[in-house]
């Protein structure tokens, strides 16, 4: 097993190998001439490319020419713009109809291309975390920091109070019986890194025998998949109960914790009642957050008419359903274009949602971008046209993000 020092050295060497090269002064002058000659002051996105064509950075601006020229005026090697520019061998840009379209394009390109400097400079203004339900035959609850967690099947968030979120997720796991361990924390990790339930075939190379389980399994708050305990049907029901809570459809875990608190108090077991009181308070906090998120999703369903931003532009229409942009087209001018837009809006708003009732995990960031855009710009919110929620074909009221 590698030592911590060796692991740090390996990560350093890996980072060094990924570091892009630097351009020469002549190449820098050529980049400046390229921007001056071809870039207009319109909304859009731009991409800084490395020597081999790899995208290093994706940015956006409502005035592209001004933004790109500002890179060449920056003084100081440690400035963000200077660090990005000195590794760029080419600059590309794509115009957007408006600033909102540029924001959407920037987000989608970053998620698709995962540029080097966008990943390196993703320090948030405030810490945040998400609740994730993991993949696999024995799903578990996790607190994760990113929306692209490879082990997540469904995700809810973000939440700002990360430590409080961790306590609430632990309480939810205790009440529902869903595991909240990581695979490396389980005893089973030492014997093949496998989890299984009693009525599942044992993983290859793992013998069924009574061995020490984790603390939760010994206390009875988890069926113990680390040692092959529990049944598939009952565990699946526990997962559904936890998921319904996180989707703001059923607060059964909260009511269960409150009932156990009252039962313990009635039996004069006050210390036990205090434990359940704390769990109930944590679950109540989490329930208030997920229900608020659910309400926000329903409010973010409308048609947004963005105004023209340059000569020859007629504006653009964005169709937003449950916080994500499902379609955008040029503003209609002829009767035929109006009819085509009405037909498209009918499919988007009144038809079944091909993405399901949940926000897909890859759209979580877009949901918060849309919410932030209209929260900070009430004048743009005034340009929206609401869609009656009763007219939408929905199969549920989930407030989650899932694959």
| Distance separating alpha carbons of residues 379 and 383, to the nearest angstrom | 7
**19-120 classified as CATH 1.20.1440.230:** no
Q: Which of 43, 41, 27 is nearest to 91 (CA)?
A: 27
pLDDT in tens, the chain (403 residues): 445 555 555 454 444 445 667 888 899 999 999 999 999 999 999 999 998 889 999 999 999 999 999 999 988 767 888 889 999 999 999 999 999 999 999 999 988 888 988 875 554 445 778 899 998 888 999 998 877 777 888 888 888 888 899 999 999 999 999 999 876 444 444 444 577 777 777 666 666 555 566 778 878 888 888 777 888 899 999 999 999 999 899 999 999 999 999 999 999 999 999 999 999 999 999 999 999 888 887 788 999 999 998 888 889 999 999 888 999 999 999 999 999 999 999 999 887 765 544 555 557 788 889 989 999 999 999 999 987 554 443 333 333 443 3
To 5 degrees, how large is the angle CA 178–CA 180–CA 183?
A: 115
CA gap 63, 45 in Å, rounded: 10
Nearest to 28 by CA among 77, 64, 82: 82
Who contacts 147 (Cβ-Cβ below 8 Å, separation ≥6)? 130, 155, 361, 362, 364, 365, 401
The ranges assigned to domains in the chain are 19-120, 129-297, 300-402
Answer whether 21's CB lies under 8 Å from 81's CB.
no
């Amino acid at each position: 097993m590698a030592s911590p020092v060796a692991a740090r050295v390996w990560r350093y060497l890996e980072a060094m190998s990924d570091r892009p090269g630097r351009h020469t002064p002549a190449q820098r002058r050529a980049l400046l001439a390229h921007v001056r000659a071809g870039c207009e002051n319109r909304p859009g996105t731009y991409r800084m490319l490395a020597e081999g064509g790899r995208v290093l950075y994706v940015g956006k601006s409502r005035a592209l020419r001004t933004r790109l020229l500002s890179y060449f005026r920056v003084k100081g090697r440690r400035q963000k713009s200077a660090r990005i520019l000195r590794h760029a061998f080419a600059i590309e840009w794509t115009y957007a109809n408006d600033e909102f379209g540029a924001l959407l394009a920037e987000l989608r390109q970053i998620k698709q291309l995962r540029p080097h400097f966008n990943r390196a400079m993703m320090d948030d203004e405030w810490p945040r975390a998400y609740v994730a339900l993991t993949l696999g035959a024995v799903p578990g609850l996790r607190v994760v920091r990113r929306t692209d967690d490879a082990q997540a099947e469904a995700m809810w968030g973000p939440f700002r109070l990360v430590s409080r979120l961790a306590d609430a997720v632990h309480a939810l796991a205790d009440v529902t019986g869903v595991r909240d361990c990581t695979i490396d924390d389980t005893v089973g990790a030492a014997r093949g890194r496998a989890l299984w339930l009693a009525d599942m075939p044992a993983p290859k190379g793992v013998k069924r025998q009574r061995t020490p389980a984790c603390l939760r399994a010994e206390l009875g708050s988890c069926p113990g998949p680390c040692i092959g305990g529990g049944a598939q049907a009952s565990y699946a029901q526990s997962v559904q109960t936890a998921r319904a809570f996180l989707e703001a459809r059923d607060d059964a875990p909260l009511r269960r914790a409150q009932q156990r608190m009252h039962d313990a108090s009635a039996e004069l077991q006050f210390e036990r009642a205090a434990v359940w009181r704390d769990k109930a308070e944590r679950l109540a906090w989490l329930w208030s957050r997920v229900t608020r998120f659910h309400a926000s999703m329903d409010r973010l369903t409308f048609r947004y008419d963005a105004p023209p931003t340059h000569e020859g532009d007629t504006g653009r229409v964005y169709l937003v359903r449950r916080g994500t942009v499902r379609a955008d087209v040029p503003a209609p001018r002829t009767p035929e274009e109006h009819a085509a837009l009405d037909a498209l809006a009918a499919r988007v708003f009144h038809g079944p949602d091909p993405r399901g009732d949940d926000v897909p995990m890859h759209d979580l960031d877009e949901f918060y971008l849309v919410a932030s855009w209209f929260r900070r710009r009430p004048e743009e919110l005034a340009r929206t046209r609401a869609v009656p929620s009763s007219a939408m074909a929905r199969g549920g009221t989930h407030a989650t993000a899932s694959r």
